[in-house]
């Protein structure tokens, strides 16, 4: 009887110890292959390099964009909290975001420290640093890389499907979360480097979470000062008239707003002047001023933002150019009337616009 019980115990222990190996064996070879090669065309930022043996899973580069980086702990227990982080810094310029997956058998402390030391050696100063949810805040892992909010993903247009799934699974559940924000100022301006990561453990993405298990994931974000290219096209009053005659509306990309705000930027003045010139030359024209956004973010928020931006354009036309307010009706449609697919960055840029529509 005792021998039978002992044999049974050995069987149970054998199953338990074999489970990790079995789970690894069940990961499809094509998924494992993705974790053995870098994203095509991607490369390391010279400011950070990479931890030896790591794979560059994902990367996006914007020639000029804006990024908001945590400079304090997260607030609250979930990403639904309105305040999100106790402090942030916003940087504009060339934005490069990369996800690395370290080889198995390495700790979060070892991998992240290597990145941090590499950046510090280049003269960068620590703005904020934390380790674990006790220091970083309970909701920090949910906020820093939220898999269910598209704009936070490091997801480009050239990813194969399996790579997209692994990007979705990245940072889903982490142990030993670590984050450091660096800054360096020189004659060109401020450069920021943010290093975030932890040990993947568990997750809700099945095979893809299993493929990342026990491997450290690292999100590297670099914002370098760069001048924005000026490619704003001003639609003339004559062109507005022609567009009204053929389409009943005119589309404007030369009206720019501060990030996430309804404040019109000064460089929008030439386009506003041409809109006013058209309205002054066509006193019978009554129009809708319509704000549009891409589909990034919540629908209700985008509807409100696009409406406030339309209001701002109407205020500018009526106060600066003396256009009769009775001729202008502002409306915000958010992402509800796209002119291109929101699946690409170019499409999103085309959808962010102001229109003047004939009533």
Q: Domain boundary residue among 224, 253, 269? A: 224
Where residue 20 falls (left for φ over 0; alpha for ψ -120 to 50; beta otherwise) is alpha
Is residue 269 assigned to a domain? yes
Bridge partners for 94 per DSSP: 224
Q: Spell out, as residue ranges, where the chain has pLDDT lower than 70.
A: 1-25, 78-83, 146-152, 227-232
Return the pLDDT at 280: 96
Residues 6+ apart with CB under 8 A from 187: none
Residue 264 has what DSSP assignment? Answer: B
Domain identity same for 80 and 170: yes
- pLDDT for res 187: 87
Is 246 found in the same domain as 209?
Answer: no
Please report, for the domain that includes residue 339, its CATH number: 3.30.1330.60
Say what the pTM is.
Answer: 0.63
Instruction: Give me the helices (H) in the chain, please.
Output: 2-25, 29-34, 108-120, 132-136, 140-144, 161-169, 207-212, 237-247, 269-281, 299-320, 345-351
Q: Is-contact 163 31, C-beta < 8 A?
A: no
| pLDDT reported for residue 96 | 93
Q: Does residue 232 form part of some domain? A: no
Q: Supply the pLDDT for residue 202.
A: 85
The pLDDT value given to residue 14? 43
Cα distance between residue 330 and residue 328, in whole Å: 7
User: What is the DSSP-derived secondary structure letter of residue 26?
Assistant: T
Per-residue pLDDT at 8: 45
- Domain end point (choices 224, 249, 277): 224
Choose the final residue of a domain: 224, 248, 270: 224
For residue 102, give the H/E element and its range: none
Its domain, for residue 185, covers: 23-224
Residue 305 pairs with which residues in a beta bridge?
none
Q: What is the pLDDT of residue 214?
A: 95
Question: Does residue 38 fall inside a structural domain?
Answer: yes
| Overall number of domains in the chain | 2
Three-class SS state of 178: strand
From 25, 159, 182, select the one nearest 99 (Cα to Cα): 159
């Amino acid at each position: 009887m005792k021998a039978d019980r002992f044999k049974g115990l050995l069987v149970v222990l054998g199953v338990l110890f074999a489970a990790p190996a079995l789970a690894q064996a069940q990961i499809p070879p094509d998924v494992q292959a993705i974790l053995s090669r870098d994203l095509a065309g991607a490369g390391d930022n010279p400011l950070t390099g990479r931890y030896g043996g790591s794979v560059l899973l994902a990367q996006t580069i914007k020639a000029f964009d804006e990024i908001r980086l945590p400079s304090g702990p997260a607030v609250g227990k979930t990403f639904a909290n309105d305040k999100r982080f106790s402090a942030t810094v916003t940087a504009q310029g060339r934005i490069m975001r990369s996800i690395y997956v370290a080889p198995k058998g390495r700790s979060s402390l070892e991998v992240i420290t290597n990145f941090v030391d590499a950046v510090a050696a280049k003269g960068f100063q620590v703005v904020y640093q934390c380790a674990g949810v006790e220091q970083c805040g309970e909701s920090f892992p949910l906020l820093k890389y939220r898999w269910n909010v598209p704009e936070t993903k490091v997801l480009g247009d050239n990813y194969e499907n399996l790579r997209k799934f692994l990007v979705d699974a990245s940072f889903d559940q982490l142990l030993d979360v670590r984050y450091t924000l660096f800054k360096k100022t020189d004659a060109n301006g401020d450069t920021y480097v943010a290093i975030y990561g932890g040990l993947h453990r568990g997750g809700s993405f099945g095979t893809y979470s299993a493929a990342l298990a026990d491997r450290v994931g690292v999100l590297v974000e670099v914002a370098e000062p760069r001048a924005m290219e000026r490619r704003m096209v001003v639609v003339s009053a004559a062109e507005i008239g022609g567009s009204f005659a053929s389409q009943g509306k005119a589309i404007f990309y030369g009206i720019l707003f501060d990030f996430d705000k309804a404040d019109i930027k000064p460089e929008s003045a030439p386009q506003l002047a041409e809109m006013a010139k058209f309205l002054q030359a066509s006193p019978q024209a009554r129009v809708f001023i319509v704000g549009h956004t891409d589909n990034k973010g919540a629908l209700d928020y985008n509807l409100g933002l696009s409406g406030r931006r339309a209001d701002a354009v109407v205020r500018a036309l009526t106060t600066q150019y003396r256009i009769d307010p009775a001729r202008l009706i502002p409306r915000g449609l958010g992402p509800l009337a796209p002119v291109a697919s929101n699946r690409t960055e170019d499409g999103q840029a085309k959808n962010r616009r102001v229109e003047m529509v004939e009533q």
